[in-house]
Chain A
Amino acid sequence: MKDTVAKYRTKRLSDPRIKEGGIKAIFALAATFSAIAAAAIFVFLLATGIPSIAETGFFRFVFGKTWNPAIGEYGIAAAIVGSVYSTVGALLVGGTLGFFCAVYISRYCPKKLKQAFLQLVNLLAGIPSVIYGFFGILIMQPVLGNLSDNGSGAGLLCVSLILGIMIMPTIVSMSVSALDAVPQSIYEGARALGDTRSQAVFGAVVPAAKSGITASFILGIGRAAGETMAVAMICGGAKIIPEGLFQSYSTMTSLIVTGLGELAPGDKTYGAMVGTACILFLFVAIINLTVQAFTGEKKDKPAKKARAEKKTRGTKLLSGKISALRHARPKETVIIKTAGCYISAAISLFALGAIVLFILIKGLPHLSKEGLFSTTGSYSGAQTILPSIISTLMILFLSLLIAVPTGLGGAIFLSEYAKRGNFITKIIKSCIEILAGIPSIVYGLFGNAFFVHVCGLGTSILSGSLTIVLMVIPVILRSSEEAIKAVPDGYMEGSLALGAGKARTIFRTVLPSALPGVLTAIILATGRIIGESAPLMLTSGNGGMGALPDGYTSKGTSLAVLLYWFNKEYAYVDEAWATAAILLMVVLALNLISTISVKLLQKKLRGAV
């Protein structure tokens, strides 16, 4: 017995406040790292971009219609217009589909299917950008080609359709939460006035969820504007302002990703690319700040004010209802809208099914042992997929190794240690928001300038991994923070009341309870890393790979980049199908794993096991 006492004593003495303070400092460091990364990207963009924009002259740069590096003419007006057109087109397609699909899921879908349906829609969000591009080129464009005068399906229509499907999941999941948050009393109030189900949904519930739905649209715009690879693959690439739905054109993102090649900082064209990224970054940052204003507003408002507003909104709605009834809401429009819900839901399922089935059916037969794993062997040339599989795994390993502890540490700091309302905390949080909204191509450009050139790491798997780290940290941090915040306060109180220190409390009670959420975050990040292409193309290697990578300092083409390259080189169609099938299967498998493991963990936490 004396022994345990002695043991106990030494334990106590060896862990005084120093240990607690040290752990806190580590978490704080992790959080600060994200802020510094955001600041670094920002500074880099401005420092490189502004001088080069100034060199051309701001107006000539933004409004100049000619982009021709050969004669030193850098006008990105055509690319800006291209970006705007694609974004608008994507919003028309994705917004309409997403809105009706969200209404269906929230108000018409049978309760039992709701979760499954949402998960299927989210699957669409997990499919890598290059697969969308690939699908667009090989499936969509030939079909659309039949409609066009010039026989080519490439152009605005194809981009709008593909981008629309890509941004739809964002719009659906955010709108569904907005619609679900509408108090049942509003719906019942409308029904009590004699509305049919559909009249009540579209007359009362949808208007009440207006701000959330609008925010989801704005977020969708941000996604569409920043999307790179899929657009670069299907837009055609001509540097002109498109005059029809079937004309080849460029966007800001496609301009950067296809034009950067082997350029290095210092080159005038490189500067112009960064200038373009600057403009894109500003555009997306403004959009994200608008979303924050829309969604953050409600959180910060004192509850009283919010209640008062809800009340007036409720009465406004009801009086609106009454006047609407007086004008007799035309039944036909409501019927059309309701039909729209069912059709949109069907279309989104069809899109998912089409992409998955086409790619698997056409890709699986091309999978062969030699093609995949031979180190020397070949399909049609000297190309096997093995080096890329290894490169991808190496990138995945290193970037998760760095990003998971950093993101998780930052999340713990922000949710458990940082004082709310503290100035520095606010800055760190805003930096992470900004970091999360940066288009992946901007990360690529930053990684190319900083890791490849400034740090002298060259185009290598290491540079690629570090770039990906920056990109994934905010993903992991934000979802982990949500998960940690959702842990009941009682757990923490209970542990502290037993005399446990804060660090022990976090590691032994808070984190285990937040595990399902953290795990989802990590799996999502894994999916993103495997599917990511634009940043890796500019940092880690972008071409036919032949040889196996020697280590982190050698070049390595990731699977997604390989798919892009195969597709660009025309000669490797079979290999492209095989790669697409592998990528898609990995993403689907990850989704399945996350769903199942999270369900099991939650069951365990709830006490059913």
Chain B
Amino acid sequence: MTREDNTKNEKTQSDKKTNILSGLIKKKENSADVFKDGSVSVKNANLWYGDFQALKDVSLEIPDRKVTAFIGPSGCGKSTLLKCLNRMNDLIEGCRIEGRFEVGGTDIYKSADVNLLRKNVGMVFQKPNLFPMSIYDNICYGPRTHGIRKKSELDEIVERSLKEAAMWDEAKNRLSKSALGMSGGQQQRLCIARALAVRPKVLLLDEPTSALDPISTGKIEELTSELKKELTVIIVTHNMQQATRIADKTAFFLLGELIEYSDTEELFINPEDPRTERYITGKFG
């Protein structure tokens, strides 16, 4: 096989992939001009809630299509930073933000429409927050928001999103039933499916398993490893084992500062900073 053949082969393969994920193409055409890819860059981020400084000069680069974990004790600023990335902090009164935040090379606080940003940077919260509607309507909420009305298209999106969230088998026979009748773990995976339905480039997970049992937690962890093939996953977690299990890169925060940020293995086996070492060995936190 010549080298040319090889590249050609790769190309057809990738073509096939994009065809399967037809929605992905659509999204790329839509917002390719705004968000290039799922890489995230934060430069000199400072954030205050009133007088309290929650983030102190944080800078980090998060690679496209990898799982990145934010760890650290409560109140260290990891969730705050996460919420900066889809501008959910805008909702909080008295919150002041400085610094440059980029998603796919675009400054999200200057040039991007906040709703378009949130479409591209999805979020799943600590507690499942499904709407009091049917499963089907929950998944369709995002696509409908962004202008998709055709039943056939919506059906396709629902099936695909549920399959991607590994929920299809559990949910396919009760799509028209209220989503609130599902168990906690199922609800959280439905939340992930709902976020996936708008084809985001980045998915933010804010302690998604803290309210779940070990089996449901395992399912969501498996899911993140699948998801990173398509998008960037950033997960805030209190559970260090979870970070080692699923994250490619890990960032350790303490009192609003980014203490250490490197490949997960490196950070856990060979931490550079003594504070990181003390935290991961359980000396404080």
Q: Residues on A close to B: CB < 8 A?
A: 1, 4-5, 7-9, 11-12, 16, 419-420, 488, 490-491, 493-501, 504, 508-509, 512-513, 604-609
**Partner pick for B145 among A1, A9, A419, A498, CB 8 A cutoff:** A498
B160 on the interface (CB 8 Å rule)? Answer: no
Which residues does chain A contribute within 8 Å of B22, judged by CB atoms? 1
Residues facing A in B146-205 (CB within 8 A) are 146-148, 150, 153, 177-181, 191, 194-195, 198
Q: Please encode chain B, from 81 to 113, with 1 for each CB lying within 8 Å of some chain A CB and 0 for all others.
A: 000001010010100000000000000000001
B128's nearest neighbour on chain A, judged by CB, is A490
How many Å from the CB of B180 to the closest CB on chain A? 3
Docked Cα-Cα span, A606 to B80, in Å, equals 31
- Asked if B30 CB lies within 8 Å of chain A CBs, one says yes
Q: Of the listed stretches B56-64, B117-125, B248-256, B258-266, name the one at the interface; the rest are far from the partner chain.
A: B117-125
B198/A607 in contact, CB under 8 A: no
B91 touches A496 (CB 8 A): yes
Would you call B91 and A498 a contact (CB within 8 A)? no
Is the CB of B129 closer than 8 A to any CB of chain A? yes
Q: Do A604 and B178 contact each other (CB < 8 Å), given the known contacts A494-B130, A497-B122, A498-B195?
A: yes
Say yes or no: is B48 at the interface (Cβ < 8 Å to chain A). no
Tell me how many residue pairs across A and B have CB atoms closer than 8 Å.
Answer: 107
A260–B243 alpha-carbon span in the complex (Å): 78
Is B73's beta carbon under 8 Å from chain A?
A: no
Please indicate the chain A residues that have their CB under 8 angstroms from the CB of B91 in the complex.
493, 496
Separation of A119 and B184 alpha carbons in the complex (Å): 34
- At the interface, yes or no: B132 with Cβ under 8 Å from chain A? yes
CB distance from B110 to the nearest CB of A (A): 15
- Chain B: which residue is nearest A605 at the CB level? B132
What 7 additional pairs, Cβ within 8 angstroms, besides A8-B146, A509-B131?
A4-B26, A7-B147, A495-B131, A496-B91, A497-B122, A513-B131, A607-B179
B271 within 8 A of A: no
Q: Give bound CA distance, A309 to B16, whole Å.
A: 68
Q: Are B132 and A490 touching (Cβ within 8 A)?
A: no
**Set of chain B residues within 8 Å of A491, measured between Cβ atoms:** 129, 131-132
Q: Which residues of B are in contact with A by a Cβ distance under 8 Å?
A: 22, 25-26, 29-30, 86, 88, 91, 93, 113, 115-120, 122-123, 125, 127, 129-133, 141-142, 145-148, 150, 153, 177-181, 191, 194-195, 198
Pick the contact of B142 from A490, A498, A512 — CB < 8 Å?
A498
Contacting pair B180 A500 (CB below 8 A) = no
In the assembled complex, which residues on chain B have CB atoms less than 8 Å from the CB atom of A504? 145
Question: CB distance A490 to B125 under 8 Å?
Answer: yes
B181-A607 in contact (CB<8A): yes
How far, in angstroms, from A101 to B64 measured CA to CA in the complex?
66
Smallest Cβ distance from B192 to chain A, in angstroms?
12
CB distance from B173 to the nearest CB of A (A): 16
Tell me the bound Cα distance from A169 to B106 in angstroms.
Answer: 60
Q: Which residues of A contact B142 (CB under 8 A)?
A: 498-500
Counting from the closest, the 3 A-B pairs by CB-CB distance are A490-B129, A607-B180, A499-B119
Chain A facing B: main interface SS: helix
Residues in A neighbouring B141, C-beta threshold 8 A: 495, 498, 500, 508-509
Give 10 pairs: A residue, B residue, CB < 8 Å, sorted on A: A5-B29, A490-B125, A491-B131, A491-B132, A494-B125, A494-B131, A496-B88, A497-B122, A499-B116, A508-B141
* Shortest beta-carbon distance from B160 to chain A in Å: 15
Which residues of B have CB within 8 Å of A500?
115, 141-142, 145
Across the interface, do A494 and B191 meet the contact criterion of CB distance under 8 Å?
Answer: yes
Among B30, B118, B125, B194, contact of A5 (Cβ-Cβ < 8 Å)? B30
Task: Give Cα A108–Cα B196 distance, bound, in whole angstroms.
Answer: 52
In the complex, how many angstroms separate the beta carbon of A551 from the nearest chain B beta carbon?
A: 42
Tell me the bound Cα distance from A512 to B138 in angstroms: 13
B86/A12 in contact, CB under 8 A:
no
> Counting chain A CB atoms within 10 Å of each CB, which of B25, B132, B153, B198 scores highest?
B132
B88 contacts A497, CB within 8 Å?
A: yes
Measured in the bound complex, the distance between the Cα atoms of B148 and A7 in whole Å is 9
Taken together as a complex, chains A and B put the C-alpha atoms of A238 and B227 apart, in Å, by 83
Which of A8, A11, A494 contacts B129 (CB under 8 A)? Answer: A494
Given A8-B147, A498-B145, A500-B142, decide whether A513 and B118 contact each other with a Cβ distance below 8 A.
no
| Contact present for B88 and A498 (CB under 8 Å) | no
CA distance A4 to B179 in the complex (A): 28
**B132/A607 in contact, CB under 8 A:** yes
Chain A contacts for B181, CB-based, 8 A: 607-608
Contacts of B123 in A (CB 8 A): 493, 497
Residues on A with beta carbons closer than 8 Å to the beta carbon of B132 = 491, 512-513, 604-607
Please give, as numbers and ranges, the residues of chain A lying within 8 Å of B198 by CB-CB distance: 498-499
| Contacts known (A494-B125, A498-B119, A607-B181); A4 close to B195, Cβ less than 8 A | no
| A492 CB, nearest partner CB in chain B, Å | 8
Distance (whole angstroms) from the CB of B90 to the closest CB of chain A = 9
Closest B residue to A508 using CB positions: B141
Q: Is the CB of A490 within 8 A of B127?
A: yes
Cβ-defined partner of A498 (8 Å) among B30, B179, B194: B194
Partner of B125, one of A493, A607, A609: A493
> When the two chains form their complex, are residues B118 and A499 in contact, meaning their CB atoms are under 8 A apart?
yes
For the complex, give the distance between the alpha carbons of A513 and B122 in Å. Answer: 23
Q: How far is the CA of A490 from the CA of B148 in the complex (A)?
A: 24
A5 x B127 contact (CB < 8 A):
no
Which residues in A have their C-beta under 8 angstroms from that of B194?
494, 498
Residues of B within 8 A of A11 (CB): 146-147
Distance A500 CA – B118 CA, assembled complex (angstroms) = 8
The answer to whether A606 and B180 touch across the interface, beta carbons within 8 angstroms, is yes
- Tell me how far the C-beta of A164 lies from the nearest C-beta in chain B, rounded to whole angstroms: 42
Q: Are A1 and B195 in contact (CB under 8 A)?
A: no
Residue of A nearest to B197 (CB): A498
Question: What is the distance, in angstroms, from A468's C-beta to the closest C-beta of chain B?
Answer: 33
Chain B min CB distance to A424 (Å): 15
**Residue ID in chain A nearest B127 by CB atoms:** A490
Q: How far is the CA of A494 from the CA of B127 in the complex (A)?
A: 10
Chain B residues with CB below 8 A from A5, complex form? 26, 29-30
